[in-house]
């Protein structure tokens, strides 16, 4: 099973990362990846608070509590699993950005993006498709840019969704 997962990861990593020499594509995915750095989440909360209605206040509470679950969970998993970044394992991988830490599993950018996407979909269903596409692009960008394996982003997405659902159920 582990060999099959490793083969899947290496195959898709190389298929995605081999295009990193395409400057416009790399610029696009760097930009997408950077939207998951955290600034956008603060901006979303501020925009919601401008409306200051019951929905926006609940939305911000649920997002904050979701991050209170997601961040420690992500850090514990990362330090427990200690999976090396792809660029440390294979010379065929060319990272297009500098990773923020040493380990790759799970993808924190992807976890945070899916956490927010699920919560946005719950409170503002008209925007669900856009936030799910954006979260998926963040996950893909992390593989394309050579800092994560595909399974890192799959686990990150699952973690983000789980933390969102827990947070929603605590407040709704």
- Looking at the domain assignment, is residue 11 inside a domain? no
pLDDT under 70 in the chain at which residues? none
Question: Quick check: is 166 in a domain?
Answer: yes
Q: What is the pLDDT of residues 114-143, one digit of tens each?
A: 999 999 999 999 999 999 999 999 999 999
Total domains present in the chain: 1
**Domain span at residue 154?**
25-171
Residue 54, in any domain of the structure: yes
Does residue 10 belong to any structural domain of this protein? no
pLDDT of amino acid 99: 84
**Could you tell me if residue 83 is inside a domain?**
yes
Residue with tokens 């929603």: 168
Please give the C-alpha separations between residue 117 and each of 5, 17, 120, 127, 152, in angstroms, as whole numbers: 26, 25, 5, 9, 18
From CA 125, how far away is CA 81, in angstroms rounded?
35
Residue 19 has which token pair? 């295009």
């Amino acid at each position: 099973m582990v060999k099959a997962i490793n083969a899947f990861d290496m195959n898709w990593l190389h298929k995605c990362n081999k295009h990193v020499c395409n400057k416009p594509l790399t610029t696009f995915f760097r930009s997408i990846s950077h939207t998951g750095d955290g600034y956008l989440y603060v901006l979303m909360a501020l925009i919601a608070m401008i409306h200051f209605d019951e929905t926006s206040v609940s939305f911000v509470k649920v997002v904050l509590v979701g991050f209170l679950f997601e961040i420690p969970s992500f850090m514990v998993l990362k330090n427990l699993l200690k999976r090396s970044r792809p660029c440390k394992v294979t010379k065929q991988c060319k990272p297009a950005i500098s990773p923020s830490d040493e380990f790759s599993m799970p993808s924190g950018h992807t976890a945070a993006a899916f956490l927010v996407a699920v919560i946005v979909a719950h409170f503002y269903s008209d925007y669900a498709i856009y936030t799910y596409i954006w979260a998926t692009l963040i996950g893909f960008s992390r593989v394309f840019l050579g800092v994560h394996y595909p399974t890192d982003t799959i686990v990150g997405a699952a973690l983000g969704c789980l933390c969102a659902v827990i947070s929603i159920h605590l407040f709704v």
